[in-house]
Amino acid sequence: MEVTLAVGRVLLRRAALAEILPLRHRELRPGRALDAAAFDGDDEPATVHVGAFLVHPGDAVACASFMARDRQGEPAYQLRGMATRADLVRRGLGSALLRYAVGALPDRARARSLWCNARLEAVPFYRRMGWTVASERFEIPDVGPHHAMIWRA
């Protein structure tokens, strides 16, 4: 799906992990080995990777991965590895990609309930997108403080 945002024309689509891993690495795990940006579940058949790509020159500028992970006994997708290129943050890429992804998830039962472990600085973004904080603050070693968040259709 092509959209026009503040950064120009952007293609929102499903992506291969190899297309988005460098962006995920650069924005979420800088200074570490590339494999630090690879997550358990990335290669599972039910995992859906999505990306926002500038139409010209075609670079990945935002990404997210959705893994089939139940939450409290209910079918759900866990959102992991959502990132936007640092110089393009707050220009609509993340919200456009998240809205697109919800419609692109194949399992309708799971797509009605999403959850993630959000870095503290990302919590306001998720709240604006209709997500709810679902935990006290907790630490992920070598990454920092987080809150679990949920979204229901």
pLDDT band at 111 (very low <50, low <70, confident <90, very high): confident
Q: With 90 as the cut, is the pLDDT of residue 56 above it?
A: no
CATH of the domain at 23: 3.40.630.30
Q: How many domains, the chain?
A: 1
Average pLDDT, integer, range 74-97: 94
pLDDT of residue 142: 82
pLDDT of residue 110: 81
Domain that holds residue 69: 2-152
The per-residue DSSP string of the chain comes to -EEEETTEEEEEEE--HHHHHHHHHHHHSTTS-GGGG--TTTTSTT-EEEEEEETTT--EEEEEEEEE--BTTB--EEEEEEEE-GGGTTSSHHHHHHHHHHHH-S-HHHHTEEEEEEEGGGHHHHHHTT-EE-S--EEETTTEEEEEEEEE-
Lowest mean pLDDT among 4-8, 76-80, 149-153: 4-8
Q: With 90 as the cut, is the pLDDT of residue 141 above it?
A: no
pTM: 0.92
User: What is the Cα 2 distance to its own chain's centre?
Assistant: 18
Average pLDDT, integer, range 90-106: 93
Separation between Cα atoms, residue 54 and residue 30, nearest integer Å: 22
pLDDT of residue 107: 85
Q: With 80 as the cut, is the pLDDT of residue 46 above it?
A: yes
pLDDT band at 137 (very low <50, low <70, confident <90, very high): very high
